[in-house]
Amino acid sequence: MKNLIPYDEFDAVNEDHGTEFTQYKFDIGPQPFGPGYGFAVDPKLSIYSDQDSPYVDQYVRTPWMVKQLKGIVDKVLQTTGNIYAGAKFDKFMEDLDELKNLKILRINRKNNGIDVFVSFEFEEDEFFGVFRNFGKYGQQDFDTELYSDGRFPYITANYRLKLTNFFYKVLCSWFTPKNSRYVAMKDVMARDEYGKELFIKDKTVITVVNSSLSDRIVNIEFGGGNKCFIRNFDYYMFNYWFKEYEDDYRELIK
């Protein structure tokens, strides 16, 4: 009976030694690597395990953890896909609202079209890209750093095709003049109906009669019946050189 101690002393010993006291109860001595080293039930979940040095920083194991979580997510998606086999899931359509603020940064002239350098926002980050041979018949090549970003591994060839078509339509819409009145913001060279060069002077009000993206031509009237056209590379520059006529321009063109 002399080996028994009062409970309050036992409680004090337990409180003082913490985990190490618990280890003594299991015939395991104190470990120099801290609490938990000798109790790794699942090595993959333990902060310390027999497959990892206790001095390895937690961030070293983060990629492995992410890979495991990705595997779980993939299994869940696969299971969900089996359950809803008849439903169609379009990741591009889901991401469409995240594509914002498309901007034209630069246009380079080429023999069969142009290269259009753009920037855009996706999930609050800015990305850059380029349309090669924009306007070339039957060929639209769009490349962007988004495709090599490791955060978006789900971007497939089909996703890229949809993104290319989406941006192409937006740019075509911007390049195409309306059948409306415009004001020249600089002297612009055009050609009359006989192919002779003429200049539309700065601040001249013109009327776009019609335009064709496929033929890259804008037919214009100005100055009481003068007819001319702008075509080829200059077609893409129309909305840089002209602004749609508004009441605010009345003072400008006097």
pLDDT digits (tens, 9 = 90+) for 77-93: 555 445 444 445 688 88
Give per-residue pLDDT as tens, 182-201: 999 999 999 998 999 999 99
Kindly state the helix (H) or strand (E) to which residue 128 belongs, with its residue range. strand 125-134
pLDDT at 225 over 70: yes
User: What pLDDT was estimated at residue 42?
Assistant: 47
**Cα–Cα distance, 176 to 215 (Å, whole number):** 11
pLDDT at 24 over 50: no
The residues, ordered by sequence, that sit 6+ positions from 113 with a Cβ below 8 Å of its Cβ are 133, 134, 135, 136
244 close to 180: Cβ distance less than 8 angstroms: yes
pLDDT at 208 over 60: yes
Mean pLDDT of the chain: 75
Pairing of strands 226-231, 99-110: unpaired
User: What pLDDT was estimated at residue 134?
Assistant: 86
Alpha helix stretches (DSSP H) within the chain: 7-17, 19-25, 58-83, 91-95, 157-175, 233-236, 238-241
| Percentage above 70 pLDDT, the chain | 60
129 close to 120: Cβ distance less than 8 angstroms: yes
pLDDT at 28 over 50: no
User: What pLDDT was estimated at residue 88?
Assistant: 59
User: What pLDDT was estimated at residue 130?
Assistant: 95
DSSP state of 201: -
pLDDT at 45 over 70: no
User: What pLDDT was estimated at residue 186?
Assistant: 94
pLDDT band at 241 (very low <50, low <70, confident <90, very high): very high
- Residue 45 tokens read as 């979940």
0.85 surpassed by pTM: no
**Cα–Cα distance, 96 to 188 (Å, whole number):** 37
What domains are there in the chain, each with its CATH number? 7-83 (no CATH), 92-175 (no CATH), 181-249 (2.30.30)
Tell me the average pLDDT across 158-176.
91
Tell me the average pLDDT across 152-163.
92
